[in-house]
Amino acid sequence: MRKGQILLNGKVWVQHVETAATTWQRMRGLLGRRELPAGQGMLIDSCGSIHTVGMRFAIDVVFLDRTWRICRVCQNVRPGCLATLGGWRAARTLEVGAGWLDLSAASPGVILEWSEAHDS
């Protein structure tokens, strides 16, 4: 599992992000966690739709295309939701705990950046 940060307009937007790239990591996602603290997120590669069946907390979801352009933003997706779709261009999702991230600048068309974490 890779770790890094998500940047918006060149500034850190989500401080601690884990990636889910393998089939098993994508299937598991955030299942089994009690929460996702402020400042943390999960980036799921090869993912254009999500569900929250079996989750314990609501999430905000940012759907991104292959170039890191925002396709769709879904706020406060509650546990038990069978499907939330990002659109036909969506290729990855960024999931964060509902409510803590300022989504006002995260409109469709805005491009985010990935910054790999470097162990010191």
What residue ranges do the domains of the chain occupy? 3-116
CA torsion sign for 18, 26, 108, 74 is negative
Name the CATH superfamily housing domain 3-116: Protein of unknown function DUF192 (2.60.120.1140)
pTM for the complete prediction? 0.89
Phi-psi region of 20 (alpha: psi -120 to 50; beta: other; left: phi over 0): beta
Tokens of 98: 């509902």
Predicted confidence (pLDDT) per residue in 104-117, tens digit = 989 999 999 999 98
User: Are the beta carbons of 73 and 107 closer than 8 angstroms?
Assistant: yes
User: Are the beta carbons of 40 and 63 closer than 8 angstroms?
Assistant: no
Predicted confidence (pLDDT) per residue in 17-68, tens digit = 998 877 666 666 666 677 888 899 999 988 899 889 888 999 999 999 999 9
SS3 25: helix
